[in-house]
Amino acid sequence: MTLFLDRNNIFYHGTRAKFDTFRPLSHFGSYSAAQECVLLCPCQKDETLDIRHEYSIQMPPSFKNDSTYKIIPVQLNLTNTYEIDDFGGSSDINYFQCVVLYHIVHDLKLNNIPYFYDYIFTEPFHIPTPDVKKELQTDNLYNTTAQQHACHTPEQVNRYHLYQQRMIQYFEHLGYDGFNYTNRREDRGHTSYIVFRPENIARMDLGQKITPREPLEIHADYQIFPCRKMAEFEKILLRKAESSHACSMDIKQTIWSNINNLRSRPSVIKSAYRAREYYTKLLTTDILPKIQDIGTQKKYGYHGIYTHTFQVAQFAIELAISVGTDPLPVILGAALHDIARTHDDDDFTHGPRGAAIARNFLTQNYNHLFPETIDKIVYAVQYHTQGTIAPDLISACVWDADRIRLSWEMGYHEKYFNTAYGNYIASLPPQMSDNGRLSQEQYMKNQNKFLRRHNIKTR
């Protein structure tokens, strides 16, 4: 499903090309992500062909001051996006092969490749050229009169576009209108989107506006085709993608050590587990070290940064995942909620005092966040001691996370909680009962086991 996406939110695309209409499968994210794509990408992308050139262009030292690049603000009209891993922002055929293979193995839970895989990735490169052009013209997603470019002839370009068009049609038949992924490289931790159709993109620099529409109708036609055994080269392709992800995240992937385990576990569980691991490491290696000296909160002790705040942030990550919202704003709110505390006794004004510190910190260190997102984080910090009914998911997750341990010590009452999972964790019994229900003691043991397994240390 679409993560934390509102039509009023502004996203950005970085480019050095001139064009009026975006191509299908364009990437959009935060301002910082768009800027990093332009400044740091070693390869030049052609905005018209959507094909990464096979040669590398060395950027001159003065490139950062080059006025030819542009950051384009847009609004996106998306209702349901398919979550994928960040394979590095590439747009070549291997990238989308990995996307579809993930869908087949993770969501369809198959160790076989259905016919539609060949239909998308193999057939476009073997059918006659007139048939390629004829099919492209039936949807008009791509221009069949593309000019020769670099290493690619017009015929090659049309065949590349046909496989992309077929893949888009396949995911649209499943009810999706784009992809979303958590950035692992540019502006890490922020959610970016890949949009299937240009009409779902409104360029704010040109005064365009999005037009609301009904969600796509779901069809399952593609899943009835006969299957063939997964070829070895496809397994190698998936392993390569996993390996690349592991190197960038310093996380040892074991998915392919036992394919039967992969098939038996729902993809949503694996996705949540990876997200929890990623954001916990982001919390300990990046966020907490940044905030440890900006306020009056002690580093250790009952309400310390590396004791209480760290625990609250762990709860907050799980709560954000449980409600399907972007974990980054939530853990920032959790990390900053007690930043103005001066002692462990009752202090009902540390929330408002902390709000000013939080806003200044977010403005200086996370200015790529949308202004309304920063406002919500600050609100969560300011009212976490007295708020009851949360006005948004950020406050809901931050407040629930802070109150879980309070409920464990002073008694649980559901009126203080805004999320279903927060209610559940707060209501756990201290020790295992006869009915076999999870206890507070077991829950904490599981959390500590998770940290040890991934070698996560607070200090």
For the stretch 136-166, pLDDT in tens is 998 888 888 755 455 568 888 899 999 999 9
pLDDT band at 95 (very low <50, low <70, confident <90, very high): confident
Let me know if residue 127 belongs to a domain: yes
Token duo for residue 8: 């009023």
Same domain? For 46 and 92 the reply is yes
Q: Which tops the pLDDT comparison, 248 or 5?
A: 5
Give the model's pLDDT for residue 238.
67
- Of residues 307 and 104, more confidence is placed in 307
Q: Is residue 207 part of a domain?
A: yes
> Same structural domain for residues 181 and 227?
yes
pLDDT in tens, 160-219: 999 999 999 888 888 788 998 888 777 777 888 999 999 999 999 888 887 766 666 655
* CATH code (residue 312): 1.10.3210.10
pLDDT computed for residue 119 by the predictor: 85
Q: Higher model confidence: residue 58 or residue 179?
A: 179
What is the C-alpha to C-alpha distance for residues 13 and 26, in angstroms, rounded to an integer?
Answer: 8
Percent of the chain with pLDDT over 90: 27
Among 10-19, 82-91, 343-352, whose mean pLDDT is lowest? Answer: 82-91
User: Is residue 239 located within the same domain as residue 273?
Assistant: no
Amino acid 270: pLDDT: 53
For residue 341, being part of any structural domain is answered with yes
Cα–Cα distance measured from residue 274 to residue 321, given in angstroms and rounded to the nearest whole number: 11
In a domain, 165, yes or no: yes
- Report CA-CA distances (Å) from 153 to 31, 49, 80, 157, 158: 34, 11, 35, 6, 9
Question: Does 438 lie in the same domain as 411?
Answer: yes
Do 83 and 138 belong together in one domain? Answer: yes
Which residue among 247, 276, 295 closes a domain? 247
Decide if 117 is inside a domain.
yes
Domain membership flag for residue 144: yes
Q: How far apart are CA 419 and CA 397, in angstroms?
A: 7
The answer to whether position 1 is within a domain reads: no
Q: Are residues 287 and 158 in the same domain?
A: no
* Residue 227, pLDDT score: 65
Same-domain pairing of 243 and 284:
no
Query: Looking at the structure, do residues 66 and 203 belong to the same domain, yes or no?
Result: yes
Lowest mean per-residue pLDDT among 108-112, 330-334, 348-352: 108-112
The pLDDT of residue 278 is 81
Q: Which of 143-157, 419-433, 440-454 has the lowest mean pLDDT?
A: 143-157
Asked whether the predicted pLDDT for residue 132 surpasses 60, the reply is yes
426 confidence band (pLDDT: 50, 70, 90): very high
Tell me which amino acid residue 320 is: A
Residue 336: per-residue pLDDT:
96
Task: Write down the pLDDT at residue 197.
Answer: 92
**pTM of the predicted model as reported, rounded to 2 decimal places:** 0.52
Q: Looking at the predicted structure, is the pLDDT value of residue 260 above 60?
A: no
**pLDDT confidence of residue 64:** 43
Number of domains in the chain: 2
pLDDT of residue 59 exceeding 70, the answer is no
Do 231 and 342 fall within a single domain? no
Q: Which two tokens stand for residue 61?
A: 């030292």
Check residue 378 and give its pLDDT.
95
The answer on pLDDT for 392 being more than 80 is: yes
pLDDT at 343: 84
What does pLDDT average to over the chain? 78
Q: Indicate whether 459 belongs to any domain.
A: no
Share of the chain above pLDDT 70, in %: 75
- Residue 347 to residue 343: CA distance in whole angstroms: 8
Residue 403 has pLDDT above 90, yes or no: yes
270 shares its domain with 217? no
Q: Can you spell out the DSSP letters for 31-96?
A: HHHHHHHHHH-SS-B-TTT--B-SS--PPPGGGGG-TT-EEEEEEE--S-EEE-----S--SHHHH
* pLDDT tens per residue, range 225-249: 556 666 676 776 666 655 554 443 3
Q: Are residues 102 and 242 in the same domain?
A: yes
Residues 241 and 287 grouped into a single domain: no
Helix axes 154-173, 129-139, angle to 10 degrees: 50
Joined tokens for residue 375? 């406002």
Enclosing domain of residue 415: 266-453
Last residue of a domain, one of 191, 214, 247: 247
| Residue bearing the bigger pLDDT, 240 or 326 | 326
Residue 436's pLDDT band, with cuts at 50, 70 and 90, is low
Q: Give the residue-averaged pLDDT of 63-82.
A: 75
Percent of residues in the chain assigned helix, strand, coil, to nearest 5:
50, 10, 40
